[in-house]
């Protein structure tokens, strides 16, 4: 899933390797926070999952890094919608 997201960031968005590294890092942390080591079921994500992760990370980051966290998740969520994952985002705005 993250490998496909990385290809999208490279091929479609043209992002630099360092930017993609941060995006992968934060998306990976987010998915691990939400699903642990188990299978990722994007249909189970809810708005509070995103808000909890962003607010938890935001307390220990500078504003530039916080923006990278938020942008990483926003980009990933849009990518998942682009792929039309079943039931993805029913609980997300």
Could you report the per-residue pLDDT of 14-71, keeping only the tens digit for each?
Answer: 999 999 999 999 999 999 999 998 898 888 888 889 889 988 887 777 777 888 898 9
pTM (predicted TM-score): 0.84
C-alpha to C-alpha distance for 33 and 56, rounded to whole angstroms: 11
Distance between CA atoms of residues 47 and 61, nearest Å: 21
Question: Topology of 2-82 in CATH?
Answer: DNA polymerase; domain 1 (1.10.150)
Average pLDDT over residues 82-91: 63
Are the CB atoms for 41 and 49 separated by under 8 Å? no
Specify the pLDDT at position 58.
74
């Amino acid at each position: 899933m993250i490998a496909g997201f990385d290809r999208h960031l490279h091929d479609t968005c043209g992002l630099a390797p360092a930017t993609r590294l941060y995006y992968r890092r934060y998306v990976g942390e987010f998915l691990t926070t939400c699903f642990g080591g188990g299978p990722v079921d994007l249909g189970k994500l809810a708005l509070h999952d995103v808000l909890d992760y962003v607010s938890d990370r935001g307390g220990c980051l500078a504003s530039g890094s916080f923006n990278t966290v938020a942008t990483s998740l926003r980009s990933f969520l849009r990518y998942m919608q682009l792929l039309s994952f079943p039931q993805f985002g029913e609980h997300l705005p």
